[in-house]
Amino acid sequence: MADVPIYNKEGVQVDSFHINDTLEYVNGRVNKGDKGYYKGSGVPYRTHNVLNEDLTEDYKLVEEGLVFYSGSMVEKQCYVGKTGVFQERYGCVFPDWIGTCSNREVQIFENLYDENGFEFSDIECLGWEYIDEEAGQIYIHCNYKSERKPWLESQDLHGLMDLIHYMIQSDWNFPWDKASILDISAKSLVTDVADIFHSDKLHHKLGGVYSILYSLGQTDHELYEMFCVQHGRPCSTVPGYIIGTMMILQRTKIDIRELMVGNFDTIYRNAVQNYLVQGKNCGYCGVGSCKGRMDDNLGYGDGIKAQYIEQAKVMLK
């Protein structure tokens, strides 16, 4: 009952796809119908990200990027006022078109329904369909337990720590540089299960917990301080994110002795340079990269890691 238009890079409608349901936009790239939610079923265009070297007069600069590989936030003039799917990448690393999902999102099904699947998920997947098979673009029919309400709305400090403990104990991790707090729902469950990965390695556990603490602190520092006070964690300095993460790991009975080398400064430097930035960044979140299969995004992840390592060397001099 809903026909979703597909626009090319010039903003001209070139195709459409049909969903047998009503669609009402919610947030992100998610619409809601009478039969559930549809992730990747089109958006009212607002902005997307483009690498600085690809900026042309077609784009209006909205905000310069804070992360070196994320490019700048822009508004493309020929997309303004349109709703649907747009044949241009939403971000600079991931292959997802604006308003839809690339087939890397099928990893949601693997992470949820394979053996030892992720249990603290907010999303229940009902199926998926191709929008453009050649380009690998899909939408997912699903339900959300929290009805797309974010953790920042509920501010459940105990629930967030329960999620962190579960992920540590069950060997599930976020990429270390992901804004993970934005992927956690009001019920302290994970909404974007495609990007988490299974690993018992210490540098992955360190990065997974760090990503939650750091993104919370950057999003709402007052709320982050409340979380730290609630759970007895340091929160006054940048190294506090790392030290707080180590304390959580230790109290969850993870052996962190290899991190404990020398004085406070040495511990911090060792943890950042030899563990944190050596882990999985968001560039590795292509289809299968978290399960050891080869894919296009593996090269992105390796290149981003190399730049992070060089940045860490300069920062920690």
Q: What's the pLDDT tens digit per position in 171-182?
A: 999 999 999 999
Residue that finishes a domain, picked among 115, 144, 173? 144
Q: Indicate the number of domains in the chain.
A: 2
Same domain as 164, residue 64: no
Residues 33-51: tens digit of each pLDDT? 999 999 999 999 999 999 9
In this structure, the answer to whether residues 161 and 282 fall within a common structural domain is: yes
Domain boundary among 124, 144, 164: 144
Q: pTM higher than 0.85 for the full model?
A: yes
102 and 161, same domain (yes or no): no
pLDDT reported for residue 191 = 96
120 and 39 part of one domain: yes
pLDDT, averaged in runs of 10, over the chain (317 residues): 96 98 97 98 97 93 87 96 97 91 90 93 97 96 97 97 98 96 98 93 98 96 94 82 95 96 92 96 67 59 91 89
Which domain-ending residue is among 144, 164, 198? Answer: 144
Which tens digit of pLDDT belongs to each residue from 106-159?
A: 889 999 998 889 999 999 999 999 999 999 999 999 999 999 999 999 999 999
Same domain, 133 and 164: no
Same domain as 307, residue 207 = yes
CA nearest to 49, candidates 30, 69, 31: 69
Is 268 exposed, middle or buried, given 0-12, 13-18 or 19+ CB atoms closer than 10 A?
A: buried
pLDDT attached to residue 287: 44
Which residue matches tokens 């929008």? 131
CA distance linking residue 85 with residue 96, whole number of Å? 10
- Measured distance CA(17)–CA(15) in Å, rounded: 7
Same domain, residue pair 24 and 119: yes
Same domain membership, residue 231 and residue 267: yes
Shared-domain flag, residues 160 and 119: no
One domain for residues 68 and 135 = yes
Domain hosting 60: range is 2-144
Shared domain for 188 and 251, answered yes or no, is yes
pLDDT number for residue 236: 72
**Residues 170 and 129 grouped into a single domain:** no
- In angstroms, rounded to a whole number, what is the distance separating the alpha carbons of residues 127 and 8? 26
